[in-house]
Amino acid sequence: MDLDALAGCLSSSACLVTQTTSGLIIGMLLFLVAVGLTLIFGVLKVVNFSHGAFYMFGAYFAMAAYQLTGSFALAMLAGAAGTAILGLIFERVFMSRVYGADVLMQLLVCYAFVLIFDDVVRIIWGPEFKSMGMPSAFQVMPLFIAGGVVPPYYLLLIGVALVAAIVLGAGLSRTRIGKVIRAAAHNPGMVSALGINTGLIYGGVFALGGMLAGLAGALAAPVRSLTPGMGFSVLIESFIVTVIGGMGSILGALIGALLLGLIRSFGSLGFPLFTEGLMYLFMVIVLVSKPTGLFGKEAA
Torsion of CA 94, 300, 289, 269, to 10 degrees: 30
Answer yes or no whether residue 233 interacts with other proteins by CB under 8 A. Answer: yes
Strand partners, 148: 145
- How long is the chain? 300
Query: 60: which residues sit within 8 A by CB, 6+ positions away?
Result: 121, 124, 125, 130, 217, 226
Note whether 29 and 275 are within 8 A (CB). no
User: Binding string to other proteins for residues 87 to 126, with x set by CB under 8 A, is what?
Assistant: -----------------------------------x----
DSSP 96-155: GGGSSS-HHHHHHHHHHHHHHHHHHHHHHH-SS-B-----GGG-SPPEEETTEEE-HHHH
Span near other proteins by CB under 8 A; candidates 130-138, 161-169, 174-182, 238-246? 130-138
Span near other proteins by CB under 8 A; candidates 80-88, 106-114, 171-179, 221-229? 221-229
Residues 276-295 close enough to bind other proteins by CB under 8 A: 276
Answer yes or no whether residue 11 interacts with other proteins by CB under 8 A. Answer: no
Report CA-CA distances (Å) from 35 to 47, 112, 118, 238, 248.
12, 23, 22, 8, 8
Q: How many residues belong to the site for other proteins (CB under 8 A)?
A: 47
H/E segment holding residue 199: helix 198-220
Strand partners, 138: none
Q: Which is nearer to other proteins, 131 or 197 (CB)?
A: 131
Give residue 278's identity as a one-letter amino acid code.
L
Given 94, 99, 125, 138, the residue binding other proteins (CB under 8 A): 138
Rounded to an integer, what is the distance from CA 227 to the centroid of its chain?
18
**Residue 249 has what DSSP assignment?**
-
Given 106, 242, 249, 268, the residue binding other proteins (CB under 8 A): 268
φ and ψ at residue 226, rounded to 5 degrees: -100, 125
Answer yes or no whether residue 225 interacts with other proteins by CB under 8 A. Answer: yes
Span near other proteins by CB under 8 A; candidates 167-175, 178-186, 269-277, 281-289? 269-277
Answer yes or no whether residue 265 interacts with other proteins by CB under 8 A. Answer: yes
Answer yes or no whether residue 19 interacts with other proteins by CB under 8 A. Answer: yes
- Measured from the Cβ of residue 69, the count of other Cβ atoms closer than 10 Å reads 13
Report in angstroms how near the CB of residue 20 gets to other proteins at its nearest.
Answer: 10
**Strand pairing category for 148-150 and 143-145:** antiparallel
3-state secondary structure of 233: helix
Answer yes or no whether residue 4 interacts with other proteins by CB under 8 A. Answer: no
Report in angstroms how near the CB of residue 276 gets to other proteins at its nearest.
Answer: 7
Answer yes or no whether residue 169 interacts with other proteins by CB under 8 A. Answer: no
User: Binding string to other proteins for residues 30 to 49, with x set by CB under 8 A, is what?
Assistant: --------------------
Report in angstroms how near the CB of residue 3 gets to other proteins at its nearest.
Answer: 15
Binding site for other proteins (CB under 8 A): 5, 9, 15, 18-19, 22-23, 25-26, 29, 122, 127-134, 138-139, 141-142, 149, 151, 153-154, 220, 222-225, 227-230, 233-234, 264-265, 267-269, 272-273, 275-276
